[in-house]
């Protein structure tokens, strides 16, 4: 069974932090692949001004290029809104029975997991990999045997930092892949 990591987010825009973390997770957490699942609207971020879904999806496609372990996914675009993780994981498992989906989440999200819809179902039925985030301590109770803490490096680059820096005229060349930076600048996205 193929071990597929689900790395969901708005990717508004995708940046080197996302890519470096995903690469680390594939290489050191024994995942066969990672799907960058572009989320139409995160229920916990209702006021976030998002670029069009397709634009964000295209940026993810451009960012991962032909790297065989990464895939851009628009799976949630066809699911009912808002996008709840339990609904997505259930639908993915039904549509792709040959894959074991691992949910990838930051320690910041782990700290509020009890606010997620049907979080107990997620934690008892799907493997979860929690990666470190600055300022958050992730403690995994013994009652969740499918949850593991990744010893991934802490990469504190955020999409909001990228957007703000671009609006302020800062040079973002080392924070996003070159072709994504060009795409942002050519289309004046932020």
Tell me the CA distances in angstroms from 61 to 13, 49, 150, one per residue in order: 12, 21, 25
Are 130 and 140 within 8 A, CB to CB?
yes
What are 92-123's pLDDT values in tens digits? 999 999 999 999 999 999 999 999 999 999 99
pLDDT value, residue 46:
57
* Cα 78 to Cα 123: distance, rounded to the nearest angstrom: 24
Could you tell me if 130 and 138 are in contact, meaning their C-beta atoms sit under 8 angstroms apart? yes
Structure tokens at 144: 């969740």
Could you report the per-residue pLDDT of 43-95, keeping only the tens digit for each? Answer: 555 556 789 999 999 999 999 999 999 999 999 999 998 889 999 999 999 99
pLDDT attached to residue 41 = 65
CA atoms within 13 A on the CB side of 131: 24
Q: Convert the pLDDT of each residue in 138-177 to its tens digit.
A: 999 999 988 999 999 999 899 999 999 999 999 999 999 9
Backbone angles phi, psi at 35, to 5 degrees: -100, 120
- At 48 the pLDDT is 61
Q: Which domains does the chain have, with CATH numbers?
A: 2-157 (3.40.50.620)
Predicted TM-score of the model (pTM): 0.93
């Amino acid at each position: 069974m193929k071990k597929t990591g689900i790395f969901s987010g708005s990717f508004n825009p995708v940046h080197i932090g996302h890519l470096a973390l995903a690469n680390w997770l594939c290489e050191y957490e024994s995942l066969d692949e990672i799907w960058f699942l572009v989320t139409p609207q995160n229920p916990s971020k209702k006021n976030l001004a998002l670029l069009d879904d397709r634009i964000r999806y295209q940026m993810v496609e451009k960012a991962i290029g032909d790297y065989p372990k990464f895939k851009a996914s628009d799976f949630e675009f066809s699911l009912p809104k808002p996008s709840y993780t339990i609904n997505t994981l259930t639908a993915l498992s039904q549509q792709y029975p040959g894959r074991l989906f691992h949910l990838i989440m930051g320690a910041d999200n782990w700290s509020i997991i009890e606010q997620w819809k049907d979080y107990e179902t997620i934690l008892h039925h799907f493997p979860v990999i929690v990666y470190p985030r600055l300022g958050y301590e992730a403690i995994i109770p013994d009652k969740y045997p499918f949850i593991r803490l990744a010893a991934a490096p802490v990469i504190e680059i955020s999409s909001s930092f990228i957007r703000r820096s671009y609006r302020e005229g800062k040079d973002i060349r080392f924070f996003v892949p070159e072709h994504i930076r060009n795409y942002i600048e050519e289309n004046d996205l932020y």
